Amino acid sequence: MTRWRNEPLLHFAVLGIGLFALYSLVSDGGESAGSEELVVDAPRIAALADQFVRSWRRAPTQAELDGLIESYVRDEVLYREGLALGLDRDDAVIRSRVRLKMELLGDSAEAEVTEADLDAWFDAHLSRYATPARYELRQVYFDPARHGATRADAVATALRELEREPGLDPAALGDATLLPAVLADVTQADVAAQLGEELAAALASAPAGRWFGPVTSSYGDHLLRVNVLSASEPAVLADVRDAVERDLRYSRAQTARNALYERLRTRYTVRIETPAGSDFDAALAAEPR
């Protein structure tokens, strides 16, 4: 008996019977009040035909158009009945799609983008479109776990030796690491991706061709030597016009969506019931890892 009680197919069957019974109650109630009208008007039929043309590059035959209409009616009937049964509730996919459509309402009819608009956006975001500088970077790494309290002394000693003998092999001074010792012909973004934001931020003020540091990252301490291979070059609007217009339109859409949300948000009073500490800890413990 216990084995049958734990059988997933039995659970599915019971759930199906329950949904069928609920559907029967809802549909019986609907029939007693009269059938619901479902109108497939001319604009809808035109839209179905247009969608067919976009997909197949030809107009549908009458039989194909009838099939499209019947498919639409089928979808609409099942959709309405699903809503009546509450099958849309607590469905993450449906919630996400409805939210996206609501946000698209915030875009509204987009105003024309003029040359003056592009000029203003471009001037305000020049660094975004500039050709980035390119660097060659060498680094010597010091592991905090290995040196502990003597790390600062080890770094200072290594820096003095590198300043005194520029031809010294840096690999002989630091600690073994999987981090690259040399990055050749890279941008600041490349350095950030491989060595972290802290080292990337140090590039702008690095003394050209000289060892300096330490620069502390999430990995540990680093001595760096940076050569600038090519300086950053400002962009010309004509060369990046498409990117500027795309970014401007996206920014406007985001602003419109945020404005829509703020306007709608004022209609709601939100009450957040924070669980007690023990309940909250138990809920976290139940989450799959």
Q: What does DSSP assign to residue 274?
A: P
The Cα 153–Cα 165 span in angstroms is: 18
Q: Is residue 19 included in any domain, yes or no?
A: no
Q: Is residue 208 included in any domain, yes or no?
A: yes
Question: How many CB atoms are closer than 10 A to CB 1?
Answer: 4
Q: What is the pLDDT along the chain (289 residues), one digit of tens a residue?
A: 445 455 544 444 444 544 444 445 444 444 444 567 888 999 999 999 999 999 999 999 999 999 999 999 988 888 888 888 888 887 888 888 888 888 777 665 567 899 999 999 999 999 999 999 999 999 999 998 888 888 889 999 999 999 888 778 887 888 989 999 999 999 999 999 999 999 999 998 899 889 999 999 999 999 999 999 999 999 999 999 999 999 999 999 888 888 888 888 888 887 777 666 655 555 555 555 5
Asked if 191 and 183 count as a contact pair (C-beta separation under 8 A), the reply is yes
Closest by CA to 227, choosing from 170, 179, 183, is: 183
Q: Is residue 207 included in any domain, yes or no?
A: yes
Number of domains in the chain: 1
**pTM (2 d.p.):** 0.56
Tell me the CATH number at 151.
3.10.50.40
Q: Is residue 238 included in any domain, yes or no?
A: no
Asked if 131 and 236 count as a contact pair (C-beta separation under 8 A), the reply is no
Residue 95 has which token pair? 């919630």
Identify the H or E element spanning 84.
Answer: helix 62-84
What is the span of the domain harbouring residue 202? 131-230
Q: Is residue 201 included in any domain, yes or no?
A: yes
Q: Parallel, antiparallel, or unpaired for β 134-142 and 182-186?
A: antiparallel
